Structure 1
Amino acid sequence: MSSGSTPAPARQSLGFAAVVFVFAVVMIGTTLPTPIYPEYQRQFGFSGGTTTVLFAVYAAGVIAALVGVGQLSQIVGRRPMLLAGVVLSLVSAVLFAIGTAESLLFVGRVFSGFSAGILTSTGTVAVLEQAPKARKAVAGALATAANIGGLGLGMFLAGLLAQVTPWPTRAPYVVHAILLVIAGVALLVVRETVEKKQDARFRLQRPGVPSEARRVFAAASIGAVAGFAVCGLYSSVAPNFVGTVLGIHSPLVVGVTTASLFAASAVAQIVLGRLGLVPAIATGSIQLFVGMILLAVALPLASLALLLVSSVVSGAGQGLLFSFGLRAIVAAAPDDRRTEATSAYFVVAYLAISVPAILAGVAEGLIGLTATGVGYAAVMGVLCVVAFAGRGRFAGVAD
């Protein structure tokens, strides 16, 4: 029995649910701006390229947190780092809710990225450690669902609130701030799983690829780059596609279009989680390739239906490529170097989600949205072919 009258298994289950909730709530905040970027453009008068820079600033914050504080939870504990992520996310929500100057948006995105980086490194481990024995088998899938699913929920929530309330650029952040306060309170039931060591010293989490995993890492990174670059396209440029190319200015439509990708990613990782590595990489490559074909057709035709289908198909492919690529790297790396290998993989992923989006924003001003989208889809399609061709490198990796 634990303290009080609550049985230990029940308390552990409660802590497990709380960590999953905290993880999801923080990740919700990272995608809230996406459906309302067009509103920000009207409010502040900035170009579509500025939205891609805002997205890149967020990604830079994620990478900085992964490298800067990735190992800190081993020293100070999981709960303090989770709380830090919640607080930083709350600061971001407040800055966006105020939203009286363009500079506040950029600062808010930095805080949002840093909070996401903390949860990416600490939240996943916390979910696995908090899981009761009966839930160990699904803990990894639930961590993924909290992460990727939270991204999708953020877009949907922002689009819905921007559509049904008279405060499109404030209501989503007020609701998110309330959820974050609840998340902070929920941490009270989460048990600490790290035994703090007095002589432990802080060090940067250096990304690195051990020689044993380089072959697999190179193959997995191709799929991760393609998948996350597509995520970057939908998160930073798709709102302009929907408004300018399709002529639809509904925040809810933008939210649903972009959220569909992340929802499909989470579902694919859970439903198809028992596939072998080679079949999963092959399936993900094919799905993402088909998604890019649909995108290249949807934009010239200005078809919302095809764009939605593309989002779902692409999301499923991204989910398989990323999650199974990560699984292969973890399996190939030595036990004592898995953390730095996974950190390197996440750094590659977040560079892929930001750099191509910036290039797309630049291209948009030069050749237009439709041509940019079709060209982007073509490049990602080539990467999918390369990822499919390299599926054999995963053969023999323990799954």
Structure 2
Amino acid sequence: MLVFEFKSNGKQNQYNAVDEAIRTAQFIRNSCLRYWMDHKKVSRHDLNKYCAVLARDFPFASELNSMARQSSAERAWSAISRFYDNCKKNVPGKKGYPNFQKDCRSVEYKTSGWKLADDRKSITFTDKKGIGKLKLKGTRDLHFYQINQIKRVRLVKRADGVYIQFCVDVNRKENTEPNGTTIGLDVGLKEYYTDSNGTTVENPRFLIKGDQVLKRAQRRVSRKVKGSNNRGKARQILGKRHLKISRQRKDHAIKLARCVISSNDVVVYEDLRIKNMVQNHCLAKSINDASWYQFRVWLQYFGKVFERVTVAVNPQYTSQECSSCGENVKKSLSTRTHVCKCGCVLDRDENAARNILSRGLGTVGHTGTFALDASNASGELTATLTGEILSEQVSS
């Protein structure tokens, strides 16, 4: 599945209709969740049937396309099934009991309720919400794909406007020759990552660099009267500042992950638990700014596209063990150089990257040779599946 995104160009009354469609989708999702709470043994099929009951009882719900209503019900079921899975797996702590959605920003159509123009430059939404025809602004060319390949169409509201996403049913593959190289990655806060060859990549720190602009925009919001138009304009400016930083992180992660995957046959990285790491309030802001999880997701995605092997290993004691002799050399976070009695002197992160690579190669069973057959190599991927909720999948 590929997701192509375009910015929409319409009038204010059309954007008001988009807001109404999004609020209706949120209402249906929360209503289905309430129906599940009040009744026992409710299945996904029962929630889809309940959408017809909501459309009959509420006129504003009937104005939304029937498949868009089913998509909202599927969003509720996605939260429910995730809760069931966590309970079955005995996940420690909270199991993620489904909550009512307070701020929905998208509505999803399936194969009906919209019509794409012949020149692929505009799209018309044909349900009774009154959205009408919206022009598409973007560089992607939809002429390469048939209409029946478009499985989902989403309207996404962001701080700088309304975007339209097309989910196209196509498998993306890029044929590359194996180069016989392997690499281990150790991510950090000082350097974004250090590989097993000693190469480092600078941490961009987008949030830290834009912190002053964000604080100034936040002060402007605080000074405005609640409910006023000026406060709404200030909130929109603040949202655009946050959106810019978010896009910078994503762009950095995509370009870096593609470069790493296309240059190596085997990529080994740390299986970090970011949720636990951010509990340290002294480092939480820097860890979130680094966006390690997003980098990992794109490593997995491009591993599938380029048919490379990606391996996640347990990072425990990778900084303490000596990559040369295996001796455990204890050191604090402030100690940046690994010195072992065997004579091995390395940068702390490079030593960890070598240990990560060693563990990864032991996992996939490569001993003695690093040459791989690209036709048999397979990467990890959290894919966007047909019939699943796009908001619950990894964005691509």
Q: TM-score w.r.t. structure 2 length?
A: 0.26
Between structure 1 and structure 2, the one with the greater Rg is 2
Q: Which has the higher strand share?
A: 2
- Structure with the bigger RCO (C-alpha within 8 Å, sep 6+) is 1
Q: Which has the higher helix share?
A: 1
